[in-house]
């Protein structure tokens, strides 16, 4: 729809036709055939095209063709309006009226002049397409692989529902992959198998050695919660098998047995000697005190009762002699026992003739006879009693004999160098060391019966 066409104002204030010199003057000046007569339709069409912004010429551009084949001045509506308004202002000192609408001015022109004046310039004259330049490809650069970073294990978290541990990829897998020169496989089980086939048999062996729980947790992803079934399965996998439990029990039994054996050996070889020496020393001191007080007299003694003291100066042995050879009451207490019962009964040292037989431990429990194998013929053996010192000299030794050979205790011992009755002494002990399979025998012959009133014999004097 076209805009309203304002009528021409013929008032003197705006000039009207008189201002323009009349209709004839306007038509004659611009060569338009008739003001609003025959040429009016062309002017209206030109005014309507002027209202269209697509046909509006660029500012300052002159258009149109010369009328009637003659070169004419270009019509400048804006310049003409300025001149006209300047003349009016100079003629009448009053405020300048507003410029009439552009369409009203253009209507006075001929359609052909308007079309020629405001004809749209060619497309090529107003717009030039940009020149196309071939894009230059950037030089190829070799992609640089990002440095491998050691995976960091996330802190263990506990799932409230399944109470299952959430673990990340174990560092051990990354270390094994780094050591083999391959990149650790990520993803599911199929991806790890492909990676194992690519990197050889070693990678597959390492994957096979991984615990089932680690593989399942890696497949689930670091931090993914385990279901109840998976949590129970992992708990069963963590439980040791029957073979593992049996091996643990056997190992603990062996360890306990070894510790007990070590304690027993320590007791036998060290503590029993310490204890027996204490008991033997206490018995010898008590016996000497009784002698000094006159409480004991020679005669018959009860089993386990001490009555004499044995001295072997070469072996530095000082041990009390008690009645009987009972193991617990006499021998294990670090004392030497006198054969005084049954078929093995022997005489006392104060007898005019006979064999004084005694026994003692070679190992453990004080071991008074441990080194009797070192005695040589002529070494002194002294038996101290309440009234006398009986001095014997070592005469012979029998290194090994049967434990049932009691003839070594006869008044004239068999196997010794003695051929007639006399006053003899016989020492018996076990052999070899730390066993009781055989017996070792040492014999001696009395060389001096010295009363205590005469003092100690030379063998006991330092």
pLDDT of residue 129: 59
pLDDT of residue 44: 53
Please indicate, yes or no, whether residues 291 and 199 belong to a single structural domain of this protein: no
Please indicate, yes or no, whether residues 205 and 296 belong to a single structural domain of this protein: no
Is residue 173 part of the annotated active site? The answer reads no
pLDDT over 60 at 170, yes or no: no
Please indicate, yes or no, whether residues 111 and 178 belong to a single structural domain of this protein: no
329 contacts 276 by C-beta, under 8 angstroms: no
Whether 194 is in a domain gets the answer yes
Q: What is the CATH number of the domain that holds 417?
A: 2.40.260.10
Taking residues 344-356, what's their average pLDDT?
A: 93
Number of domains in the chain: 3
Is residue 430 part of the annotated active site? The answer reads yes
Torsion of CA 144, 146, 148, 152, to 10 degrees: 180
pLDDT over 90 at 33, yes or no: no
442 phi and psi angles, rounded to 5 deg: -130, 130
Q: How many C-beta atoms lie closer than 10 Å to residue 302's C-beta? A: 9
Please indicate, yes or no, whether residues 41 and 176 belong to a single structural domain of this protein: no
Whether 234 is in a domain gets the answer yes
Please indicate, yes or no, whether residues 325 and 380 belong to a single structural domain of this protein: yes
Burial 83-114 (b: 16+ CB within 10 A, else e): eeeeebeeeeeeeeeeeeeebebbbbbbbbbb
134 or 446: which carries more pLDDT confidence?
A: 446
pLDDT of residue 388: 93
Q: According to the per-residue pLDDT averaged within each range, which of 52-56, 208-212, 320-324 is highest?
A: 320-324
CA 410-415-419 angle, to 5 degrees, is 70
Strand duo 306-312 + 380-384: pairing: antiparallel
Taking residues 196-200, what's their average pLDDT?
A: 67
177 or 407: which carries more pLDDT confidence?
A: 407
Please indicate, yes or no, whether residues 290 and 439 belong to a single structural domain of this protein: yes
Last residue of a domain, one of 186, 210, 238: 238
pLDDT over 50 at 130, yes or no: yes
Please indicate, yes or no, whether residues 222 and 307 belong to a single structural domain of this protein: no
Taking residues 315-331, what's their average pLDDT?
A: 94
Please indicate, yes or no, whether residues 337 and 454 belong to a single structural domain of this protein: yes
* 323 contact partners, CB below 8 Å, separation of at least 6: 301, 302, 303, 304, 305, 306, 307, 330, 337, 338, 340
d(C-alpha 85, C-alpha 293), whole Å: 170
Give Cα 290 distance to the centre of its chain.
73
Taking residues 323-352, what's their average pLDDT?
A: 93
Q: What is the pLDDT of residues 18-29, one digit of tens each?
A: 444 444 444 444
d(C-alpha 228, C-alpha 205), whole Å: 30
207 contacts 189 by C-beta, under 8 angstroms: no
Q: How many C-beta atoms lie closer than 10 Å to residue 15's C-beta? A: 17
Please indicate, yes or no, whether residues 291 and 190 belong to a single structural domain of this protein: no
Strand duo 165-166 + 306-312: pairing: unpaired
Which of 75, 73, 78 has the alpha carbon at shortest distance from 101? 78
When mean pLDDT is compared across 13-22, 260-269, 383-392, 426-435, the lowest value belongs to: 13-22
Last residue of a domain, one of 191, 218, 238: 238
Q: According to the per-residue pLDDT averaged within each range, which of 24-38, 111-125, 336-350 is highest?
A: 336-350
Q: How many C-beta atoms lie closer than 10 Å to residue 10's C-beta? A: 11
User: Is the link from the previous residue into 432 a cis peptide, with omega within 30 of 0?
Assistant: yes
Catalytic residue among 173, 361, 362, 365: 361
When mean pLDDT is compared across 109-118, 265-274, 314-323, the lowest value belongs to: 109-118
45 or 243: which carries more pLDDT confidence?
A: 243
* CA separation, residue 153 to residues 169, 173, 218, 221, 252 (Å): 7, 12, 12, 12, 35
Whether 2 is in a domain gets the answer no
* CA separation, residue 457 to residues 106, 380, 389, 461 (Å): 172, 10, 7, 7
Taking residues 30-37, what's their average pLDDT?
A: 42
Whether 317 is in a domain gets the answer yes
pLDDT of residue 319: 95
Last residue of a domain, one of 191, 212, 238: 238
Percentage with pLDDT > 90 across the chain: 40
297 phi and psi angles, rounded to 5 deg: -130, 150
pLDDT of residue 246: 92
pLDDT over 50 at 169, yes or no: no
Q: What is the pLDDT of residues 416-459, one digit of tens each?
A: 999 999 999 999 999 999 999 999 999 999 999 999 999 999 99
115 or 427: which carries more pLDDT confidence?
A: 427
Catalytic residue among 173, 333, 362, 430: 430
Q: Give the pLDDT band of residue 120 (cuts 50, 70, 90).
A: low
CA quadruple 356, 339, 360, 387: dihedral sign: negative
Residue 269 is given by DSSP the state I
Please indicate, yes or no, whether residues 298 and 445 belong to a single structural domain of this protein: yes
Please indicate, yes or no, whether residues 187 and 87 belong to a single structural domain of this protein: no
Taking residues 96-120, what's their average pLDDT?
A: 55
Taking residues 132-149, what's their average pLDDT?
A: 71
Is residue 107 part of the annotated active site? The answer reads no
Residue with tokens 């036709």: 17
CA 102-25-73 angle, to 5 degrees, is 65
Whether 442 is in a domain gets the answer yes
Q: What is the pLDDT of residues 84-98, one digit of tens each?
A: 666 666 666 555 566
Whether 311 is in a domain gets the answer yes
Catalytic residue among 166, 338, 439, 450: 439
Which of 205, 233, 203, 202 has the alpha carbon at shortest distance from 217? 233
Q: Give the pLDDT band of residue 200 (cuts 50, 70, 90).
A: low
pLDDT over 60 at 6, yes or no: no
pLDDT of residue 15: 43
Whether 185 is in a domain gets the answer yes
Whether 154 is in a domain gets the answer no
Find the domain containing 25 and state its range. Answer: 16-122
Residue 106 is given by DSSP the state H
Mean pLDDT of the chain: 73
Strand duo 438-451 + 423-431: pairing: antiparallel
Percentage with pLDDT > 70 across the chain: 55
Radius of gyration, CA atoms only, the chain? 71
Please indicate, yes or no, whether residues 282 and 431 belong to a single structural domain of this protein: yes
Q: What is the pLDDT of residues 209-257, one digit of tens each?
A: 555 555 555 555 555 687 888 888 888 888 888 888 999 999 999 999 9
Tell me the residue ranges of DSSP E strands in 98-220: 157-158, 165-166
């Amino acid at each position: 729809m076209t805009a309203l066409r304002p009528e021409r104002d013929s008032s003197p204030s705006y000039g009207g036709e008189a201002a323009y010199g009349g209709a004839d003057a306007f038509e004659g000046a611009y060569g338009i055939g008739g003001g609003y007569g025959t040429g009016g339709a062309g002017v209206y069409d030109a005014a309507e095209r002027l209202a269209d912004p697509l046909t509006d010429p660029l500012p300052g551009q002159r258009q149109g063709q010369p009328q009637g084949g003659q070169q004419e001045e270009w019509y400048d509506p804006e310049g003409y309006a300025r001149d006209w308004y300047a003349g009016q202002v100079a003629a009448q000192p009053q405020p300048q009226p507003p410029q009439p609408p552009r369409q009203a001015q253009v209507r006075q022109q001929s359609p052909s002049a308007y079309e020629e004046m405001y004809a749209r310039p060619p497309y090529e004259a107003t717009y030039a397409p940009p020149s196309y330049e071939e894009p230059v490809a950037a030089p190829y650069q070799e992609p640089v692989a990002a440095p491998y970073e050691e995976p960091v294990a996330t802190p263990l978290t506990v799932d409230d529902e399944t109470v299952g541990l959430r673990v990340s990829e174990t560092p051990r897998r990354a270390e094994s992959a780094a050591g083999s020169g391959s990149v650790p496989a990520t993803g599911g089980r199929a991806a790890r198998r492909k990676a194992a086939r690519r990197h050889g048999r070693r990678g597959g062996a390492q994957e096979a050695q991984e615990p089932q729980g680690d593989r399942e947790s890696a497949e689930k992803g670091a931090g993914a919660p385990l279901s109840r079934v998976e949590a129970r399965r992992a708990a069963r996998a963590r439980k040791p098998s029957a073979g593992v439990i049996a091996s643990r029990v056997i190992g603990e039994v062996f360890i306990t047995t070894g510790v007990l054996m070590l304690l027993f050996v320590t007791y036998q070889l060290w503590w029993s000697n310490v204890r027996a020496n204490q008991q033997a020393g206490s018995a010898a001191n008590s016996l000497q005190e009784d002698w000094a007080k006159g409480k004991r007299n020679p005669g018959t003694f009860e089993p386990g009762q001490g009555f004499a003291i044995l001295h072997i100066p070469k072996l530095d042995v000082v041990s009390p002699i008690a009645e009987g050879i009972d193991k617990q009451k006499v021998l294990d207490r670090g004392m030497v026992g006198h054969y005084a019962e049954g078929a093995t009964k022997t005489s006392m040292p104060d007898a005019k003739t006979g064999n004084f037989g005694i026994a003692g431990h070679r190992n453990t429990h004080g071991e008074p006879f441990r080194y009797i194998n070192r005695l040589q013929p002529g070494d002194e053996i002294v038996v101290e009693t309440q009234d006398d010192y009986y001095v014997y000299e070592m005469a012979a030794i029998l290194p090994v004999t049967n434990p049932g050979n009691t003839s070594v205790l006869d008044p004239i011992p068999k196997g010794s160098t003695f051929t007639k009755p006399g006053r003899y002494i016989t020492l018996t002990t076990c052999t070899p060391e730390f066993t009781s399979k055989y017996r070792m025998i040492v014999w001696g012959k009395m060389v001096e019966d010295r009363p205590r009133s005469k003092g100690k014999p030379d063998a006991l004097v330092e």
